[in-house]
A and B are shown apart, each in its own frame.
Chain A
Protein backbone atom coordinates (compact mmCIF):
# COMPACT_ATOMS: atom_id res chain seq x y z
CA UNK A 1 0.00 0.00 0.00
CA UNK A 2 1.38 3.38 -0.90
CA UNK A 3 1.86 5.81 1.90
CA UNK A 4 -0.69 8.60 2.05
CA UNK A 5 0.83 11.87 3.20
CA UNK A 6 -1.34 13.67 5.72
CA UNK A 7 -1.34 17.41 6.31
CA UNK A 8 0.49 18.13 9.54
CA UNK A 9 -2.10 20.44 11.01
CA UNK A 10 -5.40 21.05 9.24
CA UNK A 11 -6.26 24.31 11.03
CA UNK A 12 -3.26 26.53 11.83
CA UNK A 13 -2.01 26.84 8.27
CA UNK A 14 -5.38 27.95 6.97
CA UNK A 15 -5.83 30.51 9.74
CA UNK A 16 -2.35 31.95 9.17
CA UNK A 17 -2.84 32.21 5.41
CA UNK A 18 -6.24 33.88 5.79
CA UNK A 19 -4.89 36.35 8.35
CA UNK A 20 -2.01 37.29 6.08
CA UNK A 21 -4.36 37.73 3.13
CA UNK A 22 -6.62 39.93 5.23
CA UNK A 23 -3.65 42.06 6.28
CA UNK A 24 -2.78 42.71 2.64
CA UNK A 25 -6.43 43.44 1.88
CA UNK A 26 -6.50 46.20 4.50
CA UNK A 27 -3.06 47.61 3.70
CA UNK A 28 -2.40 46.87 0.06
CA UNK A 29 1.16 47.18 -1.21
CA UNK A 30 0.71 47.64 -4.92
CA UNK A 31 3.80 47.11 -7.00
CA UNK A 32 2.50 46.89 -10.54
CA UNK A 33 2.89 49.56 -13.18
CA UNK A 34 -0.10 51.84 -13.73
CA UNK A 35 0.04 50.48 -17.25
CA UNK A 36 -1.57 52.62 -19.93
CA UNK A 37 -0.57 55.81 -18.07
CA UNK A 38 3.00 54.65 -17.51
CA UNK A 39 4.96 52.28 -19.70
CA UNK A 40 8.36 50.72 -19.21
CA UNK A 41 11.36 52.00 -21.09
CA UNK A 42 12.32 48.83 -22.93
CA UNK A 43 15.87 47.54 -23.35
CA UNK A 44 17.34 48.13 -26.82
CA UNK A 45 17.15 44.46 -27.86
CA UNK A 46 13.49 44.03 -26.88
CA UNK A 47 11.69 41.90 -29.47
CA UNK A 48 8.38 43.36 -30.65
CA UNK A 49 6.30 43.22 -33.82
CA UNK A 50 8.32 43.50 -37.01
CA UNK A 51 7.74 43.99 -40.68
CA UNK A 52 9.82 43.38 -43.79
CA UNK A 53 11.51 45.69 -46.24
CA UNK A 54 9.94 44.81 -49.57
CA UNK A 55 12.92 46.05 -51.59
CA UNK A 56 15.66 44.47 -49.51
CA UNK A 57 14.21 40.96 -49.27
CA UNK A 58 15.53 38.53 -51.87
CA UNK A 59 12.87 35.86 -51.32
CA UNK A 60 15.30 33.18 -50.17
CA UNK A 61 12.80 31.54 -47.75
CA UNK A 62 15.42 31.12 -45.02
CA UNK A 63 13.09 32.78 -42.53
CA UNK A 64 10.28 30.40 -43.39
CA UNK A 65 12.58 27.43 -42.88
CA UNK A 66 13.98 28.56 -39.54
CA UNK A 67 10.72 29.65 -37.89
CA UNK A 68 10.07 27.21 -35.00
CA UNK A 69 6.23 27.43 -34.91
CA UNK A 70 5.97 27.72 -38.72
CA UNK A 71 4.43 31.16 -38.45
CA UNK A 72 5.88 32.43 -41.74
CA UNK A 73 4.21 31.80 -45.10
CA UNK A 74 5.91 32.76 -48.36
CA UNK A 75 3.54 34.45 -50.82
CA UNK A 76 4.31 34.54 -54.57
CA UNK A 77 5.10 38.05 -55.87
CA UNK A 78 6.41 39.65 -59.08
CA UNK A 79 9.17 42.25 -59.03
CA UNK A 80 7.78 45.44 -60.50
CA UNK A 81 9.12 48.95 -61.09
CA UNK A 82 11.79 50.30 -58.76
CA UNK A 83 12.32 46.96 -57.06
CA UNK A 84 8.88 46.94 -55.43
CA UNK A 85 6.82 43.80 -55.79
CA UNK A 86 3.27 43.37 -57.02
CA UNK A 87 0.97 40.43 -56.35
CA UNK A 88 1.38 37.38 -58.58
CA UNK A 89 -1.65 36.42 -60.71
CA UNK A 90 -4.44 34.47 -59.00
CA UNK A 91 -3.88 30.78 -58.58
CA UNK A 92 -0.10 30.97 -59.04
CA UNK A 93 1.37 28.99 -56.16
CA UNK A 94 4.98 28.59 -57.30
CA UNK A 95 7.32 31.43 -58.14
CA UNK A 96 8.67 30.56 -61.58
CA UNK A 97 10.32 32.46 -64.37
CA UNK A 98 12.07 35.87 -64.42
CA UNK A 99 10.82 38.56 -62.04
CA UNK A 100 9.02 35.93 -60.02
CA UNK A 101 9.85 35.98 -56.30
CA UNK A 102 8.43 35.30 -52.84
CA UNK A 103 7.92 37.41 -49.75
CA UNK A 104 7.32 36.37 -46.12
CA UNK A 105 4.09 37.03 -44.16
CA UNK A 106 3.91 36.38 -40.43
CA UNK A 107 0.90 34.86 -38.69
CA UNK A 108 0.84 36.76 -35.40
CA UNK A 109 -1.32 34.09 -33.80
CA UNK A 110 1.55 31.61 -34.18
CA UNK A 111 4.65 33.81 -33.87
CA UNK A 112 6.52 33.47 -30.58
CA UNK A 113 8.76 36.50 -31.18
CA UNK A 114 11.96 34.48 -31.05
CA UNK A 115 13.49 36.65 -33.81
CA UNK A 116 15.20 33.65 -35.41
CA UNK A 117 13.91 34.95 -38.74
CA UNK A 118 15.39 38.40 -38.14
CA UNK A 119 18.74 36.85 -37.25
CA UNK A 120 18.88 34.36 -40.10
CA UNK A 121 17.97 36.77 -42.89
CA UNK A 122 21.07 37.09 -45.13
CA UNK A 123 20.27 40.66 -46.17
CA UNK A 124 18.78 41.97 -42.88
CA UNK A 125 15.47 42.63 -44.58
CA UNK A 126 13.28 42.57 -41.47
CA UNK A 127 12.54 45.87 -39.72
CA UNK A 128 12.21 45.17 -35.99
CA UNK A 129 10.28 47.45 -33.63
CA UNK A 130 9.67 47.43 -29.88
CA UNK A 131 5.88 47.61 -30.17
CA UNK A 132 4.52 44.65 -28.23
CA UNK A 133 1.11 45.70 -26.91
CA UNK A 134 -1.20 45.53 -29.92
CA UNK A 135 -4.68 44.04 -29.61
CA UNK A 136 -6.50 42.21 -32.40
CA UNK A 137 -10.27 42.34 -32.61
CA UNK A 138 -10.86 39.41 -34.93
CA UNK A 139 -9.33 36.04 -35.55
CA UNK A 140 -8.58 37.05 -39.16
CA UNK A 141 -6.50 40.04 -38.05
CA UNK A 142 -3.85 37.69 -36.75
CA UNK A 143 -3.20 36.63 -40.34
CA UNK A 144 -2.49 39.80 -42.32
CA UNK A 145 -2.19 39.84 -46.08
CA UNK A 146 1.25 40.82 -47.40
CA UNK A 147 0.16 44.43 -48.00
CA UNK A 148 -1.20 44.69 -44.45
CA UNK A 149 1.93 43.09 -43.08
CA UNK A 150 4.14 45.73 -44.72
CA UNK A 151 2.59 48.56 -42.68
CA UNK A 152 4.80 49.33 -39.67
CA UNK A 153 3.05 48.61 -36.35
CA UNK A 154 1.94 51.67 -34.39
CA UNK A 155 2.65 52.06 -30.71
CA UNK A 156 -0.71 52.28 -28.92
CA UNK A 157 0.21 54.50 -25.95
CA UNK A 158 2.62 57.08 -27.34
CA UNK A 159 1.99 59.76 -24.70
CA UNK A 160 2.48 57.46 -21.70
CA UNK A 161 5.04 58.34 -19.07
CA UNK A 162 8.17 56.23 -19.60
CA UNK A 163 9.56 54.68 -16.43
CA UNK A 164 12.32 52.30 -15.39
CA UNK A 165 11.98 49.84 -12.53
CA UNK A 166 14.21 49.84 -9.47
CA UNK A 167 14.59 47.76 -6.32
CA UNK A 168 12.74 49.45 -3.47
CA UNK A 169 13.88 48.21 -0.08
CA UNK A 170 10.54 48.87 1.60
CA UNK A 171 8.00 47.92 -1.04
CA UNK A 172 9.92 45.48 -3.22
CA UNK A 173 9.63 47.14 -6.62
CA UNK A 174 9.50 50.83 -7.40
CA UNK A 175 9.55 52.99 -10.54
CA UNK A 176 11.65 56.00 -11.53
CA UNK A 177 10.96 58.27 -14.50
CA UNK A 178 13.09 57.18 -17.43
CA UNK A 179 16.23 59.23 -18.01
Chain B
Protein backbone atom coordinates (compact mmCIF):
# COMPACT_ATOMS: atom_id res chain seq x y z
CA UNK B 1 0.00 0.00 0.00
CA UNK B 2 2.33 2.66 1.17
CA UNK B 3 -0.14 5.44 0.51
CA UNK B 4 -1.53 5.60 4.03
CA UNK B 5 1.11 7.03 6.35
CA UNK B 6 2.08 4.77 9.21
CA UNK B 7 1.27 7.29 12.02
CA UNK B 8 -2.27 7.46 10.72
CA UNK B 9 -2.60 3.67 10.87
CA UNK B 10 -1.30 3.63 14.44
CA UNK B 11 -3.67 6.43 15.30
CA UNK B 12 -6.61 4.51 13.81
CA UNK B 13 -5.66 1.32 15.62
CA UNK B 14 -5.42 3.22 18.88
CA UNK B 15 -8.84 4.70 18.37
CA UNK B 16 -10.27 1.27 17.70
CA UNK B 17 -8.50 0.04 20.80
CA UNK B 18 -10.22 2.63 22.92
CA UNK B 19 -13.56 1.96 21.30
CA UNK B 20 -13.45 -1.82 21.56
CA UNK B 21 -11.23 -2.80 24.47
CA UNK B 22 -10.57 -0.06 27.07
CA UNK B 23 -12.94 1.39 28.18
CA UNK B 24 -14.46 -0.39 25.26
CA UNK B 25 -18.04 -1.31 24.47
CA UNK B 26 -17.13 -4.94 23.84
CA UNK B 27 -15.41 -5.24 27.22
CA UNK B 28 -18.45 -3.81 28.97
CA UNK B 29 -20.78 -6.20 27.17
CA UNK B 30 -18.64 -9.24 27.94
CA UNK B 31 -18.11 -8.23 31.58
CA UNK B 32 -21.81 -7.57 32.14
CA UNK B 33 -22.87 -10.83 30.52
CA UNK B 34 -20.31 -12.88 32.43
CA UNK B 35 -21.00 -11.23 35.77
CA UNK B 36 -24.77 -11.71 35.48
CA UNK B 37 -24.21 -15.37 34.69
CA UNK B 38 -21.73 -15.69 37.56
CA UNK B 39 -24.11 -14.04 40.01
CA UNK B 40 -26.96 -16.35 39.10
CA UNK B 41 -24.70 -19.40 39.19
CA UNK B 42 -23.15 -18.56 42.57
CA UNK B 43 -26.52 -17.80 44.14
CA UNK B 44 -27.91 -21.03 42.71
CA UNK B 45 -25.07 -23.14 44.06
CA UNK B 46 -25.36 -21.76 47.57
CA UNK B 47 -29.15 -22.01 47.50
CA UNK B 48 -29.13 -25.66 46.37
CA UNK B 49 -30.30 -24.97 42.82
CA UNK B 50 -28.79 -25.38 39.37
CA UNK B 51 -29.07 -21.85 38.05
CA UNK B 52 -28.88 -21.15 34.30
CA UNK B 53 -28.05 -24.42 32.59
CA UNK B 54 -30.19 -25.35 29.61
CA UNK B 55 -28.87 -22.71 27.22
CA UNK B 56 -25.44 -24.21 26.38
CA UNK B 57 -25.43 -27.07 28.86
CA UNK B 58 -21.79 -28.02 28.24
CA UNK B 59 -20.37 -24.75 29.58
CA UNK B 60 -22.75 -24.46 32.51
CA UNK B 61 -25.28 -22.19 30.83
CA UNK B 62 -22.78 -19.38 30.24
CA UNK B 63 -24.69 -18.17 27.19
CA UNK B 64 -27.89 -17.64 29.19
CA UNK B 65 -27.39 -13.89 29.57
CA UNK B 66 -26.78 -13.58 25.83
CA UNK B 67 -29.97 -15.51 25.18
CA UNK B 68 -31.80 -13.21 27.59
CA UNK B 69 -30.44 -10.19 25.73
CA UNK B 70 -31.75 -11.62 22.44
CA UNK B 71 -35.12 -12.33 24.02
CA UNK B 72 -35.39 -8.78 25.36
CA UNK B 73 -34.51 -7.43 21.92
CA UNK B 74 -37.42 -9.16 20.23
CA UNK B 75 -40.00 -8.94 22.98
CA UNK B 76 -43.19 -6.95 22.70
CA UNK B 77 -42.72 -3.39 23.98
CA UNK B 78 -45.54 -2.41 26.32
CA UNK B 79 -45.83 1.25 27.28
CA UNK B 80 -48.50 1.94 29.90
CA UNK B 81 -51.24 4.34 28.81
CA UNK B 82 -50.83 6.72 31.71
CA UNK B 83 -47.03 6.78 31.70
CA UNK B 84 -45.11 9.95 30.95
CA UNK B 85 -44.06 8.50 27.62
CA UNK B 86 -40.97 10.57 26.81
CA UNK B 87 -39.45 10.14 30.25
CA UNK B 88 -40.49 6.49 30.33
CA UNK B 89 -38.64 5.74 27.13
CA UNK B 90 -35.61 7.98 27.66
CA UNK B 91 -34.76 7.41 31.31
CA UNK B 92 -33.39 3.83 31.18
CA UNK B 93 -31.31 4.66 28.11
CA UNK B 94 -29.90 7.82 29.69
CA UNK B 95 -29.14 5.95 32.88
CA UNK B 96 -27.20 3.34 30.94
CA UNK B 97 -25.49 6.01 28.87
CA UNK B 98 -24.26 7.97 31.87
CA UNK B 99 -23.04 4.82 33.60
CA UNK B 100 -21.11 3.97 30.45
CA UNK B 101 -19.76 7.49 29.86
CA UNK B 102 -18.36 7.49 33.41
CA UNK B 103 -16.10 4.64 32.30
CA UNK B 104 -14.30 6.94 29.88
CA UNK B 105 -12.80 8.87 32.77
CA UNK B 106 -11.46 5.77 34.51
CA UNK B 107 -7.99 5.12 33.08
CA UNK B 108 -6.83 1.53 33.18
CA UNK B 109 -3.20 2.18 32.27
CA UNK B 110 -0.60 4.95 32.43
CA UNK B 111 -0.93 5.49 28.67
CA UNK B 112 -4.57 6.43 28.57
CA UNK B 113 -5.88 9.60 27.03
CA UNK B 114 -9.29 9.19 25.44
CA UNK B 115 -10.40 12.80 25.50
CA UNK B 116 -7.48 14.74 26.84
CA UNK B 117 -4.85 14.22 29.49
CA UNK B 118 -6.87 15.25 32.49
CA UNK B 119 -5.78 16.05 36.01
CA UNK B 120 -9.34 15.73 37.28
CA UNK B 121 -10.37 12.21 36.21
CA UNK B 122 -11.51 11.24 39.73
CA UNK B 123 -13.84 14.24 39.91
CA UNK B 124 -15.25 13.70 36.42
CA UNK B 125 -15.97 10.03 36.95
CA UNK B 126 -17.58 10.68 40.34
CA UNK B 127 -19.75 13.44 38.91
CA UNK B 128 -21.04 11.16 36.16
CA UNK B 129 -21.60 8.23 38.50
CA UNK B 130 -23.63 10.38 40.85
CA UNK B 131 -25.93 11.50 38.02
CA UNK B 132 -27.25 7.99 37.25
CA UNK B 133 -29.57 7.58 40.29
CA UNK B 134 -31.45 10.70 39.21
CA UNK B 135 -32.64 8.81 36.15
CA UNK B 136 -33.60 5.91 38.37
CA UNK B 137 -35.93 8.29 40.20
CA UNK B 138 -37.21 9.56 36.83
CA UNK B 139 -38.03 5.98 35.87
CA UNK B 140 -40.09 5.57 39.01
CA UNK B 141 -41.94 8.82 38.42
CA UNK B 142 -42.62 8.25 34.73
CA UNK B 143 -44.04 4.74 35.09
CA UNK B 144 -47.11 5.99 36.98
CA UNK B 145 -47.21 2.83 39.03
CA UNK B 146 -47.29 2.67 42.79
CA UNK B 147 -44.61 0.01 43.02
CA UNK B 148 -42.23 1.94 40.77
CA UNK B 149 -42.93 5.09 42.71
CA UNK B 150 -42.22 3.46 46.07
CA UNK B 151 -39.04 2.03 44.55
CA UNK B 152 -38.02 5.51 43.39
CA UNK B 153 -38.70 6.99 46.84
CA UNK B 154 -36.58 4.30 48.44
CA UNK B 155 -33.83 4.96 45.92
CA UNK B 156 -33.96 8.64 46.87
CA UNK B 157 -33.73 7.93 50.60
CA UNK B 158 -30.81 5.57 50.18
CA UNK B 159 -29.08 7.82 47.67
CA UNK B 160 -29.01 10.68 50.15
CA UNK B 161 -27.86 8.54 53.06
CA UNK B 162 -25.01 6.81 51.24
CA UNK B 163 -23.68 9.52 48.93
CA UNK B 164 -21.96 11.43 51.72
CA UNK B 165 -19.94 8.43 53.01
CA UNK B 166 -19.06 7.57 49.41
CA UNK B 167 -17.67 11.01 48.66
CA UNK B 168 -15.90 11.18 52.02
CA UNK B 169 -14.17 7.85 51.40
CA UNK B 170 -12.93 9.08 48.02
CA UNK B 171 -11.94 12.41 49.55
CA UNK B 172 -9.82 10.61 52.13
CA UNK B 173 -7.94 8.85 49.31
CA UNK B 174 -7.54 12.18 47.51
CA UNK B 175 -6.02 13.59 50.70
CA UNK B 176 -3.55 10.72 50.94
CA UNK B 177 -2.48 10.73 47.30
CA UNK B 178 -2.71 14.51 46.97
CA UNK B 179 -4.07 14.27 43.45
CA UNK B 180 -7.36 14.30 41.53
CA UNK B 181 -6.03 11.95 38.90
CA UNK B 182 -6.29 8.14 38.92
CA UNK B 183 -2.99 7.68 37.10
CA UNK B 184 -0.92 9.62 39.61
CA UNK B 185 -2.91 8.03 42.46
CA UNK B 186 -1.89 4.61 41.18
CA UNK B 187 1.68 5.73 40.66
CA UNK B 188 2.01 6.95 44.22
CA UNK B 189 0.64 3.56 45.35
CA UNK B 190 3.22 1.78 43.22
CA UNK B 191 6.02 3.66 44.93
CA UNK B 192 4.63 3.20 48.45
CA UNK B 193 1.78 0.95 49.62
CA UNK B 194 -1.63 0.07 48.13
CA UNK B 195 -4.48 2.24 49.34
CA UNK B 196 -6.28 -0.57 51.16
CA UNK B 197 -3.33 -0.76 53.60
CA UNK B 198 -2.98 3.02 53.82
CA UNK B 199 -6.61 3.53 54.68
CA UNK B 200 -8.64 0.34 55.30
CA UNK B 201 -11.56 2.34 56.70
CA UNK B 202 -12.06 4.16 53.40
CA UNK B 203 -11.86 0.84 51.56
CA UNK B 204 -14.54 -0.68 53.79
CA UNK B 205 -16.81 2.36 53.37
CA UNK B 206 -16.33 2.27 49.62
CA UNK B 207 -17.22 -1.44 49.52
CA UNK B 208 -20.43 -0.88 51.49
CA UNK B 209 -21.40 2.04 49.29
CA UNK B 210 -20.67 -0.01 46.17
CA UNK B 211 -23.05 -2.71 47.36
CA UNK B 212 -25.73 -0.13 48.11
CA UNK B 213 -25.44 1.94 44.93
CA UNK B 214 -25.51 -1.03 42.61
CA UNK B 215 -28.41 -2.59 44.52
CA UNK B 216 -26.66 -5.84 45.44
CA UNK B 217 -27.88 -7.70 48.50
CA UNK B 218 -28.40 -6.81 51.36
CA UNK B 219 -29.28 -3.39 49.90
CA UNK B 220 -31.65 -4.75 47.27
CA UNK B 221 -34.28 -2.43 48.71
CA UNK B 222 -35.30 -0.48 45.63
CA UNK B 223 -36.04 -3.63 43.64
CA UNK B 224 -37.29 -5.78 46.51
CA UNK B 225 -39.10 -8.29 44.34
CA UNK B 226 -41.05 -9.80 47.21
CA UNK B 227 -42.59 -6.45 48.17
CA UNK B 228 -42.51 -4.22 45.10
CA UNK B 229 -42.95 -6.67 42.19
CA UNK B 230 -39.80 -5.30 40.56
CA UNK B 231 -39.52 -1.83 42.07
CA UNK B 232 -38.48 0.70 39.47
CA UNK B 233 -38.83 -1.62 36.50
CA UNK B 234 -42.30 -2.99 37.23
CA UNK B 235 -43.82 -1.45 34.10
CA UNK B 236 -40.92 -2.11 31.76
CA UNK B 237 -40.62 -4.82 29.17
CA UNK B 238 -38.43 -5.82 26.27
CA UNK B 239 -35.16 -4.00 25.64
CA UNK B 240 -35.99 -1.15 28.04
CA UNK B 241 -36.16 -3.68 30.83
CA UNK B 242 -32.94 -5.32 29.68
CA UNK B 243 -31.11 -1.99 29.64
CA UNK B 244 -32.49 -1.10 33.05
CA UNK B 245 -31.38 -4.43 34.47
CA UNK B 246 -27.90 -4.16 32.95
CA UNK B 247 -27.22 -0.64 34.27
CA UNK B 248 -26.46 -1.69 37.88
CA UNK B 249 -23.89 -4.13 36.53
CA UNK B 250 -22.20 -1.41 34.47
CA UNK B 251 -22.17 0.73 37.62
CA UNK B 252 -20.74 -2.21 39.52
CA UNK B 253 -17.98 -2.45 36.92
CA UNK B 254 -17.35 1.30 37.25
CA UNK B 255 -17.10 1.13 41.01
CA UNK B 256 -14.93 -1.99 40.96
CA UNK B 257 -12.50 -0.31 38.55
CA UNK B 258 -12.36 2.73 40.82
CA UNK B 259 -11.86 0.46 43.81
CA UNK B 260 -9.00 -1.42 42.21
CA UNK B 261 -7.37 1.84 41.09
CA UNK B 262 -7.67 3.64 44.42
CA UNK B 263 -7.25 0.77 46.86
CA UNK B 264 -5.70 -2.27 45.18
CA UNK B 265 -2.75 -0.55 43.59
CA UNK B 266 -4.14 -0.37 40.05
CA UNK B 267 -1.81 -2.25 37.70
CA UNK B 268 0.43 -3.10 40.65
CA UNK B 269 2.60 -6.12 39.78
CA UNK B 270 3.16 -4.52 36.39
CA UNK B 271 5.26 -1.46 37.04
CA UNK B 272 7.00 -1.04 33.69
CA UNK B 273 6.45 2.57 32.74
CA UNK B 274 6.65 2.41 28.94
CA UNK B 275 4.41 4.75 27.01
CA UNK B 276 3.04 2.63 24.20
CA UNK B 277 -0.37 1.05 23.70
CA UNK B 278 0.71 -2.51 24.53
CA UNK B 279 2.75 -1.95 27.67
CA UNK B 280 1.03 1.23 28.74
CA UNK B 281 -2.59 0.24 28.17
CA UNK B 282 -3.37 -3.38 27.29
CA UNK B 283 -1.29 -5.24 29.88
CA UNK B 284 -2.00 -2.90 32.81
CA UNK B 285 -5.60 -2.76 31.66
CA UNK B 286 -5.94 -6.53 31.81
CA UNK B 287 -4.53 -6.54 35.35
CA UNK B 288 -6.90 -3.80 36.49
CA UNK B 289 -9.90 -5.53 34.92
CA UNK B 290 -8.99 -8.84 36.53
CA UNK B 291 -8.76 -7.14 39.92
CA UNK B 292 -12.07 -5.38 39.31
CA UNK B 293 -13.63 -8.67 38.27
CA UNK B 294 -12.52 -10.35 41.49
CA UNK B 295 -14.06 -7.47 43.48
CA UNK B 296 -17.29 -7.84 41.47
CA UNK B 297 -17.36 -11.59 42.04
CA UNK B 298 -17.04 -11.10 45.79
CA UNK B 299 -19.83 -8.54 45.77
CA UNK B 300 -22.23 -10.67 43.74
CA UNK B 301 -21.51 -13.57 46.09
CA UNK B 302 -23.26 -11.54 48.81
CA UNK B 303 -26.56 -12.16 47.03
CA UNK B 304 -26.35 -15.80 48.01
CA UNK B 305 -25.87 -15.09 51.70
CA UNK B 306 -27.78 -12.02 52.77
CA UNK B 307 -31.45 -11.31 53.22
CA UNK B 308 -32.67 -7.78 52.52
CA UNK B 309 -32.43 -4.88 54.94
CA UNK B 310 -35.55 -2.89 55.65
CA UNK B 311 -35.45 0.67 54.35
CA UNK B 312 -35.24 2.19 57.84
CA UNK B 313 -32.45 -0.17 58.85
CA UNK B 314 -30.44 0.68 55.77
CA UNK B 315 -30.96 4.43 56.13
CA UNK B 316 -30.12 4.28 59.83
CA UNK B 317 -26.89 2.35 59.29
CA UNK B 318 -26.05 4.74 56.45
CA UNK B 319 -26.29 7.76 58.72
CA UNK B 320 -24.63 6.06 61.70
CA UNK B 321 -22.06 3.32 61.06
CA UNK B 322 -21.13 4.10 57.50
CA UNK B 323 -20.97 7.86 57.98
CA UNK B 324 -18.91 7.34 61.13
CA UNK B 325 -16.55 5.03 59.24
CA UNK B 326 -16.09 7.55 56.47
CA UNK B 327 -15.44 10.45 58.85
CA UNK B 328 -12.89 8.29 60.68
CA UNK B 329 -11.28 7.45 57.35
CA UNK B 330 -10.88 11.15 56.55
CA UNK B 331 -9.31 11.73 60.00
CA UNK B 332 -7.01 8.76 59.42
CA UNK B 333 -5.92 10.17 56.08
CA UNK B 334 -5.24 13.61 57.52
CA UNK B 335 -3.28 12.01 60.35
CA UNK B 336 -1.20 9.96 57.95
CA UNK B 337 -0.44 12.96 55.79
CA UNK B 338 0.53 15.06 58.80
CA UNK B 339 2.61 12.49 60.69
CA UNK B 340 4.02 10.14 58.08
CA UNK B 341 5.10 12.36 55.26
Q: Using a CB–CB distance below 8 Å, which chain A residues touch chain B? A: 4, 10, 17-18, 20-22, 24-25, 28-32, 34, 36, 138-139, 172
Contacts and interface: CB of A to CB of B under 8 A. Distances in A.
A28 B78 contact: no
Interface in B41-62: 42, 45-50, 54
B46 A28 contact: yes
Interface string B299-341: 0010011100000000010000100000000000000000000
A168 to B, nearest CB: 12
A17 B50 CA distance: 21
B49 A30 contact: yes
A98 B313 CA distance: 67
Contacts of B49: 30-32
B300 to A, nearest CB: 11
A31 B49 CA distance: 6
A32 B48 contact: yes
A29 B50 CA distance: 10
Contacts of A34: 50
- What are the 9 A-B residue pairs with the smallest beta carbon separation, nearest first? A21-B305, A28-B45, A24-B46, A31-B48, A32-B49, A17-B305, A21-B46, A21-B304, A25-B45
Contacts of B76: 138-139
A32 B52 CA distance: 13
A28 to B, nearest CB: 4
A132 B301 CA distance: 33
A32 B306 contact: no
Given A36-B54, A138-B76, A30 B48 contact: yes
19 contacts: A17-B306, A18-B305, A21-B46, A21-B301, A21-B304, A24-B45, A25-B45, A25-B46, A25-B301, A25-B304, A28-B46, A28-B48, A29-B48, A30-B45, A30-B48, A30-B49, A36-B54, A139-B76, A172-B48
Contacts of B50: 30, 32, 34
Nearest to A32: B49
Nearest to B53: A34
Nearest to A34: B50
A91 to B, nearest CB: 26
A36 B46 CA distance: 22
Given A18-B305, A36-B54, A138-B76, A10 B321 contact: yes
A32 B47 CA distance: 10
Contacts of A28: 45-46, 48
Nearest to A29: B48
B217 to A, nearest CB: 11
B298 to A, nearest CB: 10
Nearest to B298: A18
A165 B195 CA distance: 53
Contacts of A4: 316
A4 to B, nearest CB: 8
Contacts of B54: 36
A174 to B, nearest CB: 12
B64 to A, nearest CB: 14
A57 to B, nearest CB: 32
Given A20-B305, A21-B304, A25-B301, A139 B78 contact: yes
A21 B305 CA distance: 6
A101 to B, nearest CB: 34
A30 B127 CA distance: 44
A4 B48 CA distance: 36
Contacts of B305: 17-18, 20-21
